[in-house]
Amino acid sequence: MRFPFALLFLTLATLSNAAAGQDRSHPTRSAAGKMRLAATHFVATLPDKLAREALRPFEDADRVNWHFTPRSRNGISFKQLDAKQQDAVHALLKQALSVEGYRRVTNIIELELVLREIETFGLMRDPEKYHLTIYGTPDARKAWGWRFEGHHLSLNFTLAGELMVVDTPSFFGANPAEVKNGPKKGLRVLKEEEDEARALLAALTDAQRKEAVFDTRTYVRHSHRSQRPSRAVGGKRHRCRETQRRATRAARETDRRVCRQF
């Protein structure tokens, strides 16, 4: 049975350290520097009024208030930007993501047009309701961050000068999981992730599957809480690491393929 929509947390691949919600820190000066330059260029394209909407203090509580559902958001939306400014947003995304990751982002956004056609309340679906917020000032020495977010998408980046990029939490989702009609018929935005995740479960032993599968019910809706990690979350991470350690070679390799999609 295929689910009506596909949702991919970085926690979906439950046997992976990174997928278990661990912060992934990359000491890559070039990646941080390129993001800083792209973010600075974006801010430079904005008039003062829009710049005030796009920029918030690094210590702002909103920085950890992430969501992937349709809702009101801080920051600045595509709807408020002209073509040049939108191009600057895309340039920033390209610096932060792999080619495949960027392709997934644009396809997720375009699925809003599919939902507009197939849902009875489809007029609320809008590919321009994706927001960019920059926290702090892009700086070569000080901490700053940014978030790009909208329906079924939340990308959060924190940079410490030029030396570290932390790219969690991240959420990629797709609804519908497979487009059934229209110009995009057959499109499965998260095809590789969904197929590899199913293969991962199939590669587990019965004992490993009991640890990896926390519920056998199919949820009609999904939920999340954007809060700081607790001790309970830390315990789950330890359990995931232990499960990965005991996983078969086939399961570990499938797990790695899931994570490499981004």
Q: What is the pLDDT of residues 175-233, one digit of tens each?
A: 999 999 999 999 999 999 899 888 888 888 898 888 888 777 766 555 555 555 444 44
Over 60: is that where the pLDDT of 261 sits?
no
Q: Output the DSSP codes for 22-87.
A: ---EE--HHHHHHHHHHHHHHHHTS-HHHHHHHEE-TT-GGGG----SS---SSEEGGG--HHHHH
pLDDT for residue 12: 37
Q: What is the pLDDT of residues 48-106, one digit of tens each?
A: 999 999 999 999 999 999 999 989 999 999 999 999 999 999 999 999 999 999 999 99
Q: What are phi and psi of 25, to 5 degrees?
A: -100, 130
Amino acid occupying residue 77: S
pLDDT for residue 156: 96
Q: What is the pLDDT of residues 107-127, one digit of tens each?
A: 999 999 999 988 877 678 999
Over 80: is that where the pLDDT of 143 sits?
yes
Burial 24-57 (b: 16+ CB within 10 A, else e): eeeeeeebbbbbbebbeebeebbeeeeeebbbbe
pLDDT for residue 238: 47
Structure tokens, 223: 């939920």
Determine the 3-state secondary structure of 178 from DSSP. coil
* Euclidean distance between CA atoms 19 and 23, whole angstroms: 9
pLDDT for residue 210: 86
User: What value does the mean pLDDT take over residues 168-178?
Assistant: 92
pLDDT for residue 146: 97
Q: CA 157, 255, 103 angle in degrees (round to 5)?
A: 50
